[in-house]
Amino acid sequence: MKIYLVGGAVRDQLLALPIKDQDWVVVGGTPQAMLDDGFQQVGADFPVFLHPKTKEEYALARTERKKGKGYLGFECYAAPDVTLEDDLKRRDLTINAMASADGIIIDPYNGQADLEHKVLRHVSEAFSEDPLRVLRVARFAARFHHLGFTVADETTTLMKQLVNAGELQHLAAERVWQESAIALGEKSPWIYFEVLRSCGALKALFPELDALFGIPQPEKHHPEIDTGLHSLLSLKAASLLSEEVSVRFAALTHDLGKGVTPKSEWPQHRGHEKRSLPLVKSLCKRIKVPNNVRSLSLLAAEYHTHVHRAFELKAATLLKVIRASDAFRNGDKFEQFLLVCEADSKGRTGLENVDYPQSHYFMKALNAAKAAKPAELIAEGFSGKELGLALQDKQQSNIEQTKQQMKRERANAD
């Protein structure tokens, strides 16, 4: 048996990046030989084993073939006669199809050249057998964009062919979200959606988002004009403000309602907040978005313009937004919501570095509302429904006092 380090660990080593996980391929081995050496087999479909000490994955060299028409998974062939080159050929990108052993790089598909030229290129026509690879290419583009990587033209062409053939419709929703969630956590997550759009995959998988491109907004407030571009700029701004996938996804989807604004009303989008809600719900349901991400996205879609107009709002409206955000019980979610609003504000061409004092204003209002103590009202004799109403009145009164105080402070500052 011969053991090789393969895939991402080899790639990242050549890029001088930190290596998170190491995967190994065993050539000339058998399942029984691995078990005899103390390895633990995992999964029934693929010959993958865990090292008895490091728990790293060791896979027998294998080839794969797509099962029938549509995406039905793969038939796996693993045997001692499968070569390292056979195993590497089934991988997605050339930069992921390298191996090393004893300090020597094995590179049958020119991955090192593509690393040098910063190109994401498919290894072989076998790329077409797994439509998930369309998303993987987009995800790697998001990961390595800051290093200057781009997708090869011939790979984009192949991705388009997969989309046009309807192959992406066979992907399980969970897989779409899993790849998208990882991409949202990458250094340049907006690039993931740009690449998907370039091959038609955005329309196939995220039609609510794709519909935003080409729809104008008032240039006075949105110098970038295009609503789709604004959504990607908001995601870009969010990625600088937070590493949370929920914040980034909410920033991306906060304006979906603008995609269904009647054309006669362009470039205005009055009422887009409410129109966004069923679209966010539909998207989240279709690709199985987790509840916490869905909840924040709906909150941001409905109330982001309230936060933008914070200084104009009455105390009662400020309290309404705070209550709708569940801020008394979940302060972290409220802070994430404010980050989404800030990302929306900064996701505009030329306005990326403009301050967003509305967040501080809303936090002051929340703290003022929190200062209203139920125990004090109970001591005054309130109970039941009357207690709830009295508490709300006290919260609103505290917010109004804080509003007036901050108004005086701003006047003095001017």
Average pLDDT, stretch 91-116?
A: 97
Average pLDDT, stretch 160-172?
A: 96
Predicted local distance difference test score (pLDDT) of residue 75 = 67
Q: Name residue 31's amino acid.
A: P
Average pLDDT, stretch 185-214?
A: 98
Selected residue with higher pLDDT from 356 and 408: 356
What span, in angstroms and rounded, lies between the C-alpha atoms of 277 and 291? Answer: 14
Predicted local distance difference test score (pLDDT) of residue 46 = 73
What span, in angstroms and rounded, lies between the C-alpha atoms of 21 and 7? Answer: 10
Residue 74 pLDDT > 70: no
Predicted local distance difference test score (pLDDT) of residue 78 = 77
Residue found by looking up tokens 């992921």 in the block: 96
Residue 20 pLDDT > 50: yes
**Tens digits of per-residue pLDDT, 267-323?**
999 999 999 999 999 999 999 999 999 999 999 999 999 999 999 999 999 999 999
Residue 68 pLDDT > 60: no
Average pLDDT, stretch 245-253?
A: 98
Average pLDDT, stretch 357-383?
A: 96
Residue 71 pLDDT > 50: no
The full set of domain ranges for the chain reads: 1-111, 371-413
Under 8 Å CB-to-CB from 337, ≥6 apart: which residues?
A: 250, 296, 299, 300, 303, 307, 325
pLDDT band at 45 (very low <50, low <70, confident <90, very high): low
Phi then psi for 62, rounded to 5 degrees?
-150, 160
Residue 252 pLDDT > 90: yes
- Taking the alpha carbons at both ends of the chain, their separation in whole angstroms is 77
Measured CA to CA in angstroms, residue 13 lies from 5, 115, 188 at distances of 11, 11, 21
What span, in angstroms and rounded, lies between the C-alpha atoms of 22 and 4? Answer: 10
Predicted local distance difference test score (pLDDT) of residue 72 = 47
**Tens digits of per-residue pLDDT, 340-355?**
999 999 999 999 999 9
**Tens digits of per-residue pLDDT, 227-245?**
999 999 999 999 999 999 9
Residue 147, token pair as written in the block: 């290093």
Residue 346, token pair as written in the block: 């900064």
Residue 228, token pair as written in the block: 């789709």
Residue 168 and residue 201 in contact, taking contact as beta carbons nearer than 8 Å:
yes
When the pLDDT of each residue in the chain is averaged and rounded to a whole number, the result is 94
pLDDT band at 79 (very low <50, low <70, confident <90, very high): confident
Predicted local distance difference test score (pLDDT) of residue 70 = 47
**What CATH number does domain 1-111 carry, 3.30.460.10, 3.40.920.10, 3.40.718.10, 3.40.50.920?**
3.30.460.10
- Could you say which DSSP state residue 185 is in? T
Under 8 Å CB-to-CB from 380, ≥6 apart: which residues?
A: 390
Predicted local distance difference test score (pLDDT) of residue 25 = 96
Residue 358 pLDDT > 60: yes
Predicted local distance difference test score (pLDDT) of residue 413 = 77
Predicted local distance difference test score (pLDDT) of residue 217 = 98
Residue 101 and residue 5 in contact, taking contact as beta carbons nearer than 8 Å:
yes
- Could you say which DSSP state residue 335 is in? H
Q: In residues, how long is the chain?
A: 414
Assign 3-class secondary structure to 190-206.
Answer: HHHHHHHHHCCHHHHHC
Under 8 Å CB-to-CB from 115, ≥6 apart: which residues?
A: 11, 14, 15, 95
Please, what is the Cα angle at 304 between 224 and 253, to 5 degrees? 65
Residue 67 pLDDT > 80: no
pLDDT band at 199 (very low <50, low <70, confident <90, very high): very high
What span, in angstroms and rounded, lies between the C-alpha atoms of 10 and 387? Answer: 64
Q: Give 177-180's long-range contacts (Cβ < 8 A, gap of 24+).
A: 177/287, 177/288, 177/289, 177/290, 179/132, 179/135, 179/136, 179/139, 180/135, 180/287
Predicted local distance difference test score (pLDDT) of residue 411 = 83
Average pLDDT, stretch 135-157?
A: 98
